[in-house]
């Protein structure tokens, strides 16, 4: 499976799938000002919609990551992409807050099921010396497509069609990718050794979750992921309204500035994990957290200057998404046995999504409504401060000349 040809094919498919997941999750952020106007939604409603998807994402990651460790990757990956393809158009059928929340919950289940399994599949297909690089390639597609390209495309499509029709454009690519994944990913469960959290058919989800939670790096990773997703989700959900309502940027300027989220995240996700293959995971973690925190502070002090806003938002996501990638990729996979990789990743993602992705945007929405949307950046700034302390407590998993294994 680690032969170069298979490695490139599998990493490429996992990357394209994560790109579609990114489009589904973040395309709606650029549409929020238009959707809010049509459906009469407030800032708090936007936070609830964003939080509902994140909670569903987290629960699905927790359950389906472990399931794939026990029954195999292919079924979960192809099934998640099939659900995505069949239901993405439903977001455009929403008539109010409740219906939009329900649709986003279902999409969150599909997206969350795909995420930890695709990460584990990428790691398993990769030679040890390329784990950081390959997980960076795979993870970079979510910000590239979801946060970089999608805002630019969506802002132009709104001149040609209503927001409801835009969602349906991505159903066919999802179906095609589900078919390719089913044909390419090997069937069968990952290899289970004696330390895999269970023995043969006696393995249970409870035992697997207990095994990964016994690892200090996994417990720290759960809390760290909460911090990183607090930054990512609150900024991607509420900054469009911050730019249009507080800084009074026109819609097209706002969309251009928001595209910095994707391009910055793409660059950081690709470059910094690859750097960690050379100098270690922990030094890159610390650099990333400090860089994101400083960039958030500078962003909060910038006025209605689109180019400067673009630069600081690029930097925020350059560093923050590197932290996300290192947490769900090398930190998880190198701290547990191979047969528990998706379980560990699912647990970490679940914690981040349920709290950082689910509760944080609701809190952010309430901050915007009660204290003014100009104050929302204090939430991710605080999260970076906590994340810095947590990073300092992690144990290095990288080994010179290859990837480390074990906590």
Is 50 exceeded by the pLDDT of residue 200?
no
Which tops the pLDDT comparison, 52 or 406?
52
Distance of CA 314 to the CA centre of its chain: 16
Please tell me which residue, 389 or 276, carries the higher pLDDT value. Answer: 389
Mean pLDDT across the chain, nearest whole number?
Answer: 84
User: Which of 121-135, 284-298, 363-377 is predicted least confidently?
Assistant: 121-135
Condensed to tens digits (0 to 9), the pLDDT of residues 103-131 reads 889 888 998 899 888 988 888 888 777 87
Adjacent-strand bridge partners of 402: 399
Rounded Cα–Cα distance for residues 113 and 125 (Å) = 19
| Secondary structure (3-state) at 404 | coil
Place of tokens 């002090």: 301
248: how many CB neighbours lie within 10 A of its CB? 10
- How far CA 225 is from CA of 118, 204, 248, 289, 326, in Å, comes to 17, 25, 32, 12, 10
* Cα dihedral sign, 178-82-113-383: positive
Q: What angle do CA 128, 73, 25 make, to 5 degrees?
A: 95
Q: Is the pLDDT of residue 197 over 90?
A: no
Least confident of 22-31, 77-86, 233-242, 376-385: 22-31
pLDDT tens, residue by residue, 129-169: 787 788 888 888 887 888 778 877 887 888 888 778 887 88
d(CA 99, CA 176): 28
Considering all CA atoms of the chain, what is the largest pairwise distance in Å, rounded to the nearest integer? Answer: 60
The answer to whether residue 405 scores a pLDDT higher than 60 is: no
Residue 358 reports pLDDT greater than 50 = yes
Residue with tokens 């994560």: 18
What gap in Å lies between CA 407 and CA 396, rounded to an integer? Answer: 8
How many CB atoms neighbour CB 121 within 10 A? 28
Which residue has better confidence, 148 or 81? Answer: 81
* Residue 32, pLDDT score: 79
The answer to whether residue 381 scores a pLDDT higher than 90 is yes
State how far the Cα of 368 lies from the Cα of 241, in Å rounded to an integer: 10
Pairwise CA distance, residues 95 & 92, whole Å? 9
Q: What's the pTM?
A: 0.75
In the predicted model, what is the mean pLDDT of residues 176-203?
Answer: 67
Between these two residues, 131 and 306, which has the higher pLDDT value? 306
C-beta separation of 320 from 234 below 8 A: no
% the chain with pLDDT above 70: 93
* 18 neighbors 174 (Cβ within 8 angstroms): no
Token pair for residue 396? Answer: 């290095």
Q: Kindly state the average pLDDT of the residues 199-212.
A: 71
Q: Which residues, other chains included, contact 35 with Cβ-Cβ below 8 Å and sequence gap of 6+?
A: 28, 41, 100, 163
Round to whole Å and give the CA distance between 333 and 339: 10
* Residue 376 DSSP SS3: coil
At residue 188, the pLDDT reads 65
Q: Which residues contact 210 (CB under 8 A, 6 or more apart)?
A: 197
Q: How far is CA 341 from the centre of its chain?
A: 17
In 3-state terms, what secondary structure has residue 399?
strand
Residue (of 270, 252, 374, 378) closest to 319 by Cα position? 270
């Amino acid at each position: 499976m680690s032969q170069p040809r298979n490695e490139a094919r599998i990493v490429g498919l996992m990357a394209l799938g994560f790109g579609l997941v990114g489009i589904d999750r973040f395309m709606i952020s650029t549409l929020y000002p238009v959707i809010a106007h049509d459906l009469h939604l407030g800032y708090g409603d936007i936070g609830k919609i964003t939080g509902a998807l994140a909670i569903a994402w987290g629960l699905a990651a927790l359950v389906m990551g472990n399931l794939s460790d026990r029954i195999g990757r292919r079924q979960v990956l192809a099934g998640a992409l099939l659900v995505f393809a069949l239901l993405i158009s439903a977001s455009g059928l929403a008539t109010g807050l409740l219906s939009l929340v329900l649709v986003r919950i279902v999409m969150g289940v599909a997206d969350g099921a795909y995420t930890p399994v695709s990460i584990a599949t990428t790691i398993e297909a990769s030679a040890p010396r390329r784990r950081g690089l390959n997980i960076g390639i795979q993870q970079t597609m979510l910000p590239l497509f979801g946060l970089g390209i999608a805002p630019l495309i969506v802002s132009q499509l709104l001149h040609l069609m209503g927001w409801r029709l835009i969602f349906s454009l991505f159903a066919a690519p999802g179906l095609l990718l589900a078919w390719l994944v089913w044909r390419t990913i090997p069937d069968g469960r990952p290899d289970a050794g004696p330390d895999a959290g269970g023995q043969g058919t006696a393995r249970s989800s409870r035992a697997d979750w207990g095994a990964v939670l016994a690892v200090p790096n996994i417990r720290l990773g759960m809390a760290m992921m909460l911090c990183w997703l607090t930054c990512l989700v609150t900024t991607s959900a509420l900054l469009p309204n911050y730019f249009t309502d507080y800084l009074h940027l026109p819609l097209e300027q706002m969309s251009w500035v928001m595209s910095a989220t994707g391009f910055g995240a793409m660059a950081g996700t690709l470059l910094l994990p690859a750097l960690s293959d050379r100098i270690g995971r922990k030094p890159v973690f610390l650099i990333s957290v400090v860089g994101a925190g400083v960039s958030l502070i500078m962003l909060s002090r910038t006025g209605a200057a689109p180019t400067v806003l673009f630069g600081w938002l690029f930097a925020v996501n350059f560093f923050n998404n590197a932290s996300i990638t290192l947490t769900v990729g090398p930190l998880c996979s190198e701290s547990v046995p191979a047969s528990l990789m998706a379980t560990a990743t699912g647990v970490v993602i679940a914690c981040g999504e349920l709290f950082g992705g689910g509760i944080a945007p609701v809190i952010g929405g309430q901050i915007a409504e009660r204290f003014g949307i100009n104050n929302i950046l204090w939430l991710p700034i605080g999260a970076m401060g906590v994340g810095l302390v947590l990073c300092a407590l992690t144990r290095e998993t990288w080994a010179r000349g290859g990837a480390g294994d074990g906590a």
